[in-house]
Amino acid sequence: MTDADQAIQFNTASDAAEKIAAWARHLRVEKQVSPHTLDAYIRDITQFTRFLSVHLGRPASLRDLETLKPLDFRAFMAARRSTGVESRTMARQLSAIRTLYRWFDNQGILRNPAVAILRSPKLPHAIPKPLNPAAARQAMNLAASDVCGEAEPWIIARDTAVLLLLYGCGLRISEALNLNRHEAPVPPNEDVLRIVGKGNKIRLVPVLPAAASSVQTYMDMTPGLDPQGPLFIGKQGRRLNARNIQLLMQKLRSALCLPDTATPHALRHSFATHLLGGGADLRTIQELLGHASLSTTQVYTGVDREHLLSQYDKAHPRAG
């Protein structure tokens, strides 16, 4: 992409566009952020620079980015708010701007102290919404009984194996679908998965016998798997798309009358919540989930507290 193309993409002067493109390459190559994260960062910065071109009356240059005042950044946030953008999205966009300016500073390109005094909007306290144990078991059983009306047994086995890895191992859907054939939790491998999670952090996750057996059943029914290729494949032989599993959960929701929050990621929430309810400590759950910070894992204590209070309200004679 030429400097002119970059300037058009970001709606900035060519010097600023060149450095923003270099920052994006740094995120992709050196930081190895996920494609989804990279797209979100670029989208956020593009919205910011396009706002600046209107706000300043010209495409922003590096000098403009260096001399922006707190009022300029707040004007961007106010403009986003006026379009109905929620606080969580605004906080993410402000995080992208901070990340860009931190890189500028580390590279000796420019430094703008105004960024440091910006405050993110307050976010509502979001509590994960897991399935209860009975609903999780029903979902696994119904998937294995062909809720989608698939004619091919190997597809039923595949989908069941994926769901069991999400619920039984607490994997993100991307982590399950990024597994390759040689990484499958079947002999000669141990009953532990080596997962490369966010930020290229590696963690070891124990695999329940039921999940390992489900994966083995799927592999036995799919003999054409490339030993060096993806573990879970679609009908065309390529790596399975997450949309297939999302559609499966949509059908399970309908069949079991589950709420819209019953998504593939809710199975990961269910894994953590059910472990906590069973007596597992937060540090162990943090390691299994691959959370960088314990504070991220602590949100599950809110879920467990709600469950305890609801049980108290139902059972105690003086409750309510």
253 is catalytic: no
Q: Which of 80, 158, 268, 269 is catalytic?
A: 268
- For residue 169, give both structure tokens: 């191992």
Contact criterion met (CB below 8 Å) for 94 and 41: no
307 DSSP β-pair partners: none
User: Is 102 considered catalytic here?
Assistant: no
Cβ of 45: how many Cβ atoms within 10 Å?
20
**Cis omega before residue 133 (within 30°)?**
no
Ramachandran class of 4: left when φ > 0, alpha when ψ lies in -120 to 50, beta otherwise: alpha
What is the C-alpha separation between 252 and 102, in angstroms, rounded? 44
Q: Exactly one of 80, 172, 269, 274 is catalytic; name it.
A: 172
* Catalytic (active site) residue 300: yes
User: Cβ neighbours of residue 89 under 8 Å, at least 6 residues apart?
Assistant: 80
Which of 50, 92, 251, 265 is the catalytic position?
A: 265
Run of H or E residues at 301: helix 299-315
Instruction: Give per-residue burial for 255-288: e unless 16+ CB within 10 Å, then b.
Output: eeebeeebbbbbbbbbbbbbbbbeeeebeebbeb
User: Considering 41, 101, 167, 300, which one is annotated as catalytic?
Assistant: 300
Catalytic: 172? yes
How far apart are alpha carbons 208 and 274 in whole angstroms? 14
Identified catalytic residue from 19, 158, 253, 291: 291
220-to-94, 213, 223, 237 alpha-carbon distances in Å: 49, 10, 6, 16
Alpha carbons 271 and 76: distance in angstroms, whole number? 40
Q: What is the DSSP letter of 145?
A: T
Catalytic, out of 198, 218, 243, 316? 198
- Catalytic residue list: 172, 198, 265, 268, 291, 300
